[in-house]
Structure 1
Amino acid sequence: MSRLKRIAGQDPRAGFKAAGRDCGTSVPQGLLKAARKSGQLNLSGRNLSEVPQCVWRINVDIPEEANQNLSFGATERWWEQTDLTKLIISNNKLQSLTDDLRLLPALTVLDIHDNQLTSLPSAIRELENLQKLNVSHNKLKILPEEITNLRNLKCLYLQHNELTCISEGFEQLSNLEDLDLSNNRLTTVPASFSSLSSLVRLNLSSNQLKSLPAEINRMKRLKHLDCNSNLLETIPPELAGMESLELLYLRRNKLRFLPEFPSCSLLKELHVGENQIEMLEAEHLKHLNSILVLDLRDNKLKSVPDEITLLQSLERLDLSNNDISSLPYSLGNLHLKFLALEGNPLRTIRREIINKGTQEVLKYLRSKIKDDGPSQSESAAETAMTLPSESRVNIHAIITLKILDYSDKQATLIPDEVFNAVKSNIITSINFSKNQLCEIPKRMVELKEMVSDVNLSFNKLSFISLELCMLQKLTFLDLRNNFLNSLPEEMESLVRLQTINLSFNRFKMLPEVLYRIFTLETILISNNQVGSVDPQKMKMMENLTTLDLQNNDLLQIPPELGNCVNLRLPPFHFEPSIVFLTLYICCSLSIRTLLLDGNPFRVPRAAILIKGTAAILEYLRDRIPT
């Protein structure tokens, strides 16, 4: 009974008042009973306007069942209950919290996001064991000074409030690792922030910041810095001293120059889209040795320097919506997986090549590296290399780019002369898009030993014949805008397939065979009628990184997905009349992008979705029944 005596010392009423009598129907007794055993209580989404006393006093008062049972088994010893360590009361209508909060000193997690709180009680200072505090999506205008007493706090989420400044002494939270202050009304960041030496992730996006303190470089452990959607005109050069920085987001600001990063050798992603950057110079690039993603879209760039080839690790480069008229041919030597060029007045690359995608653009640029001039070589390719007997076949594309191209002809059949033109040349890509094909050309099988990319989009295919399943080296397959509603089981033999595009077809479910193609990294199946996905089968797809399910018929997403920390996925709204979508995906998945817009599930609100992956996953995890 020593535990009860200890609590009684804090509250003289302890042990004399039976719990549960003031809870009514808002908190079931069974939930309280389970919480005493597990130490966790989830009251999310119960329409509460105040926290019942029985919750604050859950570890203080004698539980109601003690009055109903005079003999206690091993599982009914209420005096051996566990202190409450995790309390979730998010998505309610709370306007305030009482000082009774101090009756839960063992709390390590307190989640009260999505309420109507305008302040926090001073008693919060007594939660000295608190490690995670989520007060996002409330109406806080200031933070109490007492919050600086939470020295064990590691995660603090304050996004979507009305904060205009940061409390004095905030730097005392020396163990803080994750801090989200996005979507507030901050105009400055105090220099004292630099004392948050343990900080790994800092989100300052969607505020009114015009500058960052030079002292920010003292955050030696910071890996993720998000300053999107502010009023930043410059970045302090001291930022270059943040040697651990891996992700830097500076989208939607007023930057005119790209920051220089002489020390940021670990920087993997730099997002500076939607600014006013006019020039990209070698000095901006030469130290970005580890960069994987460079986002420069929607700026005012007029050219790209040859030094872009120094970025040998670069995988994604977004140059869309700038003023670029030409590209250095050396860009073709990079191993890019994604290159965006739309919205530029390019004159050296034909639009049809750009429309074919990243790999075709890179192949084209590589082919031009030794040419005297692009316009001259293009002209020669289209005249001297086109044989009279094969006038409809682009021989230049076959020989130089290794593409068998017979696209945009509105043909119902692919003529034999197209396949005959290949002769002894090596072909790696086939493009028969924008025709009227009702079946896959049988002669494609002749190229099965070399073809890796096939584009059959914008045709009238209603089934996939076995000829396609014999292309053993196939890595990319585009079947969008057809009449498909199923795929043959024989596609399982495509053991190298990495990307498949099935958008704008007639699928009502994710084709079964895709679950067995374990090499798949990208599945695009938007604008269909997909209503279900099999979680048990999907968890075997360990290489899957991108899944596009936009504009389908998904009605529900289970909260358990919140445990899949790499998954970008919004939650769901349950309706009894709808077949439950069981989508419990194993955490070993490496999904980085999941697109679900345009599906008929009702929650979360758009405001939740727009916050991004981490917020959505947390939203889901909070709804997992305890």
Structure 2
Amino acid sequence: MFLVFVTLLLCVLSGGLGNQISLDLCQRNITEVRKNANVLESVTSSTIAIALCNNNITKVDSGAFQTYEALEMLNFNANPELQFPSDGSQFLSSQSLMRLDCVECGIIKIYKDTLKGMSNLRQIYLSENMIEMIEDEAFRANRALQEVDLRGNKLTRVPGGIFLGLQSLHRVDLDSNSLLAPHQDQPFLTNDYLKVLSCNECGFEVIYERTFAGLPRLEELYLRQNNIREVQNTALISNEYLNTLMLQDNNIESLSLKLTKIPILSLGGNCIKFDCSRPDRAYLMRMSGVQCIDETPIRVTETYVFNRDPTLLEEIPPNEPKLVHSQQNSAVTKTTTETEIVIGISDWYITSYLTIIYLACSGVLIFLLCVLWKMEKYDSDPGVNFYAEGVLNPSPIYKPIQ
């Protein structure tokens, strides 16, 4: 019984402490976050995530979260007046922080020392800000960086070597920076490990040989809704691992036959001219499933998958994810047309779950205490003891029936 009591007590205590793993401080009208401030009094040594979204924060002390060694995630979303320090100093100092969200804030510039204090940072989401400038070495201290989201800003230039040397970098999103495309035949970005680049609505007009030559391990490239009118014959020749190319809704009129070597190629919403007298154009036309009409713009409306075997063709409805089976290997590649969104469990569900556990444990504990109290009561009742003695210890005058 003692062991049961101890187990239930630990269960109750763990339920009470569990509420501090994720701390929700959203919509509290917080204006400043300072070290040892009252707003952080609920933070414990076991707190992993803190949400400070939808407040009016204008200033964050760089050392405000420095002492919380378990902290991995910070969310400052929807604080429209929040900016990185204009003097170029560190925004935050936290060696444990792995994810930083500053979506829909007022960030204008990212300086070379802004993110220097977060050496373990792996994911940073800065979409829907007003970022105009990023200094050359802004991410140089973030060696563990895996994902960077800069969608919906006002960038006109990204330093080509800004991600140089980041060996863990997997994905970069630059969508909806309408003036971001590089000038002429200049490398857009340089990184030997980047696998996914999304630059929809970035103002590209021509894809040159050197445009993406600095990304030799690129596997997925999304260039929807640009102003691309030409993809040069030597373009993407350095991207031998490229297996997904999305070119929907551009102004492309001609394509190189070499693009058919890309397993997943989307041309939806482009007017492509096919010269039926040229075998290569006729071949490309046939592979695209388009009827041959000399020099007539043909509007391609579907997404096609070009297998490594050029005789195989599978049609996919536009904007619909599908599993594509390769003939050369048994691997299955899943194609997605939109940015992957990771949906976590909300604090409300976590709190409700822990509260139910707490109440259940408390109820069981109270029930067992009542049982113990009843047992002690019966032990002390002389009448019950008399009957118990009569049944368990009968008088010797009674003899068993033969």
Q: Given that residues 48 and 72 in structure 2 are in contact (C-alpha distance below 8 angstroms), is that contact kept between their aligned partners in structure 1?
A: yes
- Give the superposition deviation at 1:269: 0.8
Q: Given that residues 100 and 123 in structure 2 are in contact (C-alpha distance below 8 angstroms), is that contact kept between their aligned partners in structure 1?
A: yes
- Give the superposition deviation at 1:194: 3.0
Q: How does 1:287-302 map to 2 (within 5 A)?
A: 287-302=214-229
Q: Aligned to 1:129, what secondary structure does the other structure show? A: coil
In structure 2, distance between residues paired with 1:617 and 1:544: 24
* TM-score, L = length of structure 1: 0.42
Identify unmatched segments of 5+ residues in structure 1. 1-71, 88-106, 351-359, 367-372, 377-400, 403-427, 430-452, 456-475, 481-499, 502-519, 523-541, 547-591, 596-610
In structure 2, distance between residues paired with 1:79 and 1:625: 13
In structure 2, distance between residues paired with 1:329 and 1:621: 54
Q: Given that residues 130 and 154 in structure 2 are in contact (C-alpha distance below 8 angstroms), is that contact kept between their aligned partners in structure 1?
A: yes
- Give the superposition deviation at 1:199: 1.0
In structure 2, distance between residues paired with 1:290 and 1:625: 44
Q: Aligned to 1:285, what secondary structure does the other structure show? A: coil
Question: Which structure has the larger Rg?
Answer: 2
Q: Given that residues 187 and 213 in structure 2 are in contact (C-alpha distance below 8 angstroms), is that contact kept between their aligned partners in structure 1?
A: no
Aligned with 2:344 (options 609, 617, 622): 617
Considering fraction of residues, name the structure with more helix: 1
The alpha-carbon distance between structure 1 residues 620 and 273, as it changes in their structure 2 partners (threshold 3 A), is farther
In structure 2, distance between residues paired with 1:223 and 1:291: 14
Instruction: Check if 1:521 corresponds to 2:323.
Output: yes
Q: How does 1:345-384 map to 2 (within 5 A)?
A: 345-348=271-274, 364=287
- Give the superposition deviation at 1:221: 1.7
In structure 1, distance between residues paired with 2:50 and 2:275: 50
Instruction: Check if 1:111 corresponds to 2:24.
Output: yes
The alpha-carbon distance between structure 1 residues 143 and 246, as it changes in their structure 2 partners (threshold 3 A), is same
Q: Aligned to 2:128, what secondary structure does the other structure show? A: coil
Q: How does 1:406-445 map to 2 (within 5 A)?
A: none
In structure 2, distance between residues paired with 1:117 and 1:272: 35
- Give the superposition deviation at 1:240: 4.0
In structure 1, distance between residues paired with 2:287 and 2:332: 29
Q: How does 1:396-411 map to 2 (within 5 A)?
A: none
The alpha-carbon distance between structure 1 residues 75 and 86, as it changes in their structure 2 partners (threshold 3 A), is closer
- Give the superposition deviation at 1:297: 1.5
Instruction: Check if 1:283 corresponds to 2:215.
Output: no
Aligned with 2:66 (options 128, 149, 160): 149
Equivalent AA in structure 1 for residue 102 of structure 2: L
Q: Partner residue of 1:266?
A: 193
Q: Given that residues 521 and 545 in structure 1 are in contact (C-alpha distance below 8 angstroms), is that contact kept between their aligned partners in structure 2?
A: yes
Q: Partner residue of 1:164?
A: 82
In structure 1, distance between residues paired with 2:137 and 2:251: 35
Q: Aligned to 1:74, what secondary structure does the other structure show? A: helix
Q: Partner residue of 1:333?
A: 261
Q: Given that residues 191 and 214 in structure 2 are in contact (C-alpha distance below 8 angstroms), is that contact kept between their aligned partners in structure 1?
A: yes
In structure 1, distance between residues paired with 2:196 and 2:225: 17
Q: Aligned to 2:64, what secondary structure does the other structure show? A: helix
Q: Aligned to 2:49, what secondary structure does the other structure show? A: strand
The alpha-carbon distance between structure 1 residues 324 and 183, as it changes in their structure 2 partners (threshold 3 A), is same
- Give the superposition deviation at 1:375: 5.0
The alpha-carbon distance between structure 1 residues 374 and 306, as it changes in their structure 2 partners (threshold 3 A), is farther
Q: How does 1:458-537 map to 2 (within 5 A)?
A: 521=323
Aligned with 1:175 (options 73, 96, 105): 96
Aligned with 1:203 (options 125, 128, 148): 125
Q: Partner residue of 1:224?
A: 147
The alpha-carbon distance between structure 1 residues 73 and 223, as it changes in their structure 2 partners (threshold 3 A), is closer
The alpha-carbon distance between structure 1 residues 243 and 349, as it changes in their structure 2 partners (threshold 3 A), is farther
Equivalent AA in structure 1 for residue 273 of structure 2: R
Q: Partner residue of 2:108?
A: 187
- Residue by residue, what CA displacement relative to the aligned partner does 1:471-510 show, whole Å, maximum 9, x if unpaired? xxxxx9x9x9xxxxxxxxxxxxxxxxxxx99xxxxxxxxx
In structure 2, distance between residues paired with 1:199 and 1:78: 34
In structure 2, distance between residues paired with 1:285 and 1:618: 37
The alpha-carbon distance between structure 1 residues 144 and 284, as it changes in their structure 2 partners (threshold 3 A), is closer
Instruction: Check if 1:324 corresponds to 2:249.
Output: no
In structure 2, distance between residues paired with 1:309 and 1:169: 40
Q: Given that residues 128 and 150 in structure 1 are in contact (C-alpha distance below 8 angstroms), is that contact kept between their aligned partners in structure 2?
A: no
Considering fraction of residues, name the structure with more strand: 2
- Residue by residue, what CA displacement relative to the aligned partner does 1:244-267 show, whole Å, maximum 9, x if unpaired? 222111110121318736751111
In structure 2, distance between residues paired with 1:132 and 1:190: 27
In structure 2, distance between residues paired with 1:617 and 1:239: 30
* Same amino acid, percent of matched pairs: 18
Q: Given that residues 240 and 263 in structure 1 are in contact (C-alpha distance below 8 angstroms), is that contact kept between their aligned partners in structure 2?
A: yes
Q: Aligned to 1:73, what secondary structure does the other structure show? A: helix
- Give the superposition deviation at 1:620: 8.5
- Give the superposition deviation at 1:144: 4.2
Equivalent AA in structure 2 for residue 111 of structure 1: D
Aligned with 2:13 (options 81, 86, 91): 81
Number of paired residues? 306
In structure 2, distance between residues paired with 1:116 and 1:620: 15
- Give the superposition deviation at 1:126: 7.9
Q: Given that residues 174 and 196 in structure 1 are in contact (C-alpha distance below 8 angstroms), is that contact kept between their aligned partners in structure 2?
A: yes
Q: Given that residues 275 and 294 in structure 2 are in contact (C-alpha distance below 8 angstroms), is that contact kept between their aligned partners in structure 1?
A: no
Q: Given that residues 271 and 295 in structure 1 are in contact (C-alpha distance below 8 angstroms), is that contact kept between their aligned partners in structure 2?
A: yes
In structure 2, distance between residues paired with 1:545 and 1:79: 42
In structure 1, distance between residues paired with 2:249 and 2:189: 28
The alpha-carbon distance between structure 1 residues 292 and 543, as it changes in their structure 2 partners (threshold 3 A), is closer
- Residue by residue, what CA displacement relative to the aligned partner does 1:193-225 show, whole Å, maximum 9, x if unpaired? 133221111111100000112222412221111
Instruction: Check if 1:132 corresponds to 2:48.
Output: yes
In structure 2, distance between residues paired with 1:544 and 1:343: 24
- Residue by residue, what CA displacement relative to the aligned partner does 1:15-61 show, whole Å, maximum 9, x if unpaired? xxxxxxxxxxxxxxxxxxxxxxxxxxxxxxxxxxxxxxxxxxxxxxx
The alpha-carbon distance between structure 1 residues 622 and 209, as it changes in their structure 2 partners (threshold 3 A), is farther
* TM-score, L = length of structure 2: 0.63
In structure 2, distance between residues paired with 1:79 and 1:543: 44
In structure 2, distance between residues paired with 1:263 and 1:544: 26
In structure 2, distance between residues paired with 1:242 and 1:173: 22
In structure 1, distance between residues paired with 2:231 and 2:132: 28
The alpha-carbon distance between structure 1 residues 86 and 326, as it changes in their structure 2 partners (threshold 3 A), is same
Aligned with 2:174 (options 226, 241, 250): 250
Equivalent AA in structure 1 for residue 13 of structure 2: Q
**Once superposed, what is the RMSD of the aligned Cα atoms?**
4.1
Q: Aligned to 2:110, what secondary structure does the other structure show? A: coil
Higher RCO (C-alpha 8 Å, min separation 6): 2
In structure 2, distance between residues paired with 1:620 and 1:83: 14
